[in-house]
Structure 1
Amino acid sequence: MSDIIVKTNGLCADFKIKDRMVRAVNRVSLSLERGKTLVILGESGSGKSTYMKALLRILPKTAAVEGQAEFLGNDLFRMSEKEFRDIRGNRMAMIYQDSLSALDPMYKVGYQIVETIRAHSSLTKAEARERVEELFVKVGIPSPRERMNAYPHEMSGGMRQRAVIAMALCCNPCLLLADEPTTALDVTIQKQILNLFLELQESDRMSIMMVTHDIGVAAQVADQIAIMYGGIILECGATRQVLETPANPYTKALIAALPKSGNRERLVAIEGQPPTIVHMPPGCPFSNRCTYATEACRQSVPELKPIDEHHMTACHMNLVTSGGK
């Protein structure tokens, strides 16, 4: 039996803007094994959240999605909406970036999670409430009965995010999708939430797919990292290999831009601006900012090719094999 929980092959997502279709996600092929964490790392507008929403089939109706996506061996894009509802929020759950907007301000937090449980199970209301109490304890929410009766605005940002995580876990998903889950939190709470993810992964053997722009977050939780830019995957592989021996100029530039402890020199910035989906260059999306760019880079989009068994890059010039500095 395959240990792959979810995989995509050539996934594309297009949007209609001013009477023409523009591509936000371009032929993305990724896979995630059971009990592992894949972090998709990239700047705002890179397409990482769009990719995740395409998996959940929650993009606007004006979006056109192509390619293949499988979850536990089932074709996600061939399922009826009724069939997919049995998966979304049940076997596959998502944690959104803004916990306040993820919860309905008009209802108590406990009620919202109870209703989610009852929508996907045969539990009674009393049994569902017991389940919520257990989940609140599991995610580190003190005084669970009291917090169940709180409205979203009555909870701190950290507690709200824990409640959203509890909601995502309420039906024992085997895949957890997390969209920038720690962005709005201070550093201390961020570390607590990331540690919680690691504990849940270990205790439940749950697979996690997370998107973030923070290399530090990726380094802390990821088994694998996929670097996304301009709608394509520029590099992916085992976390240590990607961060210690980057094979793509964009990955190398991202790492070089990180502040160094004790270094008072000016931070290294990546020159230029990332392209928008309506002004995407014909070749590699990073070619207009890349110091290694050649004419081939400006003319054709590079394909993702293996460097070794656990490392791939999409670049006309492999920095590992070429010795690029």
Structure 2
Amino acid sequence: MLPFQRVAIIGMGLIGSSLARAIAARMPTVHLTVSDRSPEVCARVRELQLAEDVTDNAATAVIDAELVILAVPVGAIAAVAAEIAGDMATGSVISDVGSVKESVLKALTETMPDHVAIVPGHPVAGTERSGPDAGFATLFEGRWCILTPADPASPAAQQVAAFWERLGARVEMMDAAHHDRVLAVTSHLPHLIAYSIVGTASDLETITRSEVIKYSAGGFRDFTRIAASDPVMWRDVFLNNREAVLELLGRFTEDLVALQRAIRWGDGETLEALFTRTRAIRRSIIDEGQDTANEDFGRSHGGRPHGTGDDS
């Protein structure tokens, strides 16, 4: 039995369009309605035939939906939730795909009527692409989807978990604040560093921008790939998870100073010990199946950035 028969997705960026494709592939009898504030994106979604119903009116999209998923930047969730709150069906469930959860849980709790169950979610998957052309149905296969409901044992939380499992994801329940600390380490800080190092390289007076682009070997190219991610989405992530990011950034700065000291004093033993330990962690990530294979597949099936609704 399907967890939900009628689903609405608000925002047709990478995650929203991938959700639409995954639902069509794995739950073809589900009636899907999608919405994006951009008429151009809606037109493209219709061309791609990603859903039965497409509208640029979010409130219209959620009428009669059993599950509503907000696939918009974290900073837009409160406004979108307020826009659709009055049209949410009794007994429906609202979720999202943002990589910050504490602020989302607060926004939805303050906005949604009592007859709507709130189950915030975060599929830990993505590429640097955006827009409806960038999505692909297998994006969530073998990836973690973290759910942060107030009550993990609630029927709504179990339904949303079953929904993601049908899409091929592995589901984990987690406290919202703990989620934000974990993602600050595994996602938010790496993005911040990638944005920073690209900015540093482009600002060096002795190295031209053309040289940075021309001679970007594997290390710079691979590390800075995520700096191509949507700037609005990541602006909202850092503003909404500022405490956890700042805490981790402080710790990272201390570790970087220690590394700087080891290089200055020729302390090869310290450098090798660090590199050996971190190499083992990287290998564990590969063994866990959370490397870039899925993202590489997405790039080979994705397209140019397009549209306004983006993943988080």
TM-score by length of 1: 0.29
Which structure has the higher relative contact order (CA within 8 Å, separation 6+)? 2
TM-score by length of 2: 0.30
Looking at secondary structure, tell me which structure has more helix per residue: 2
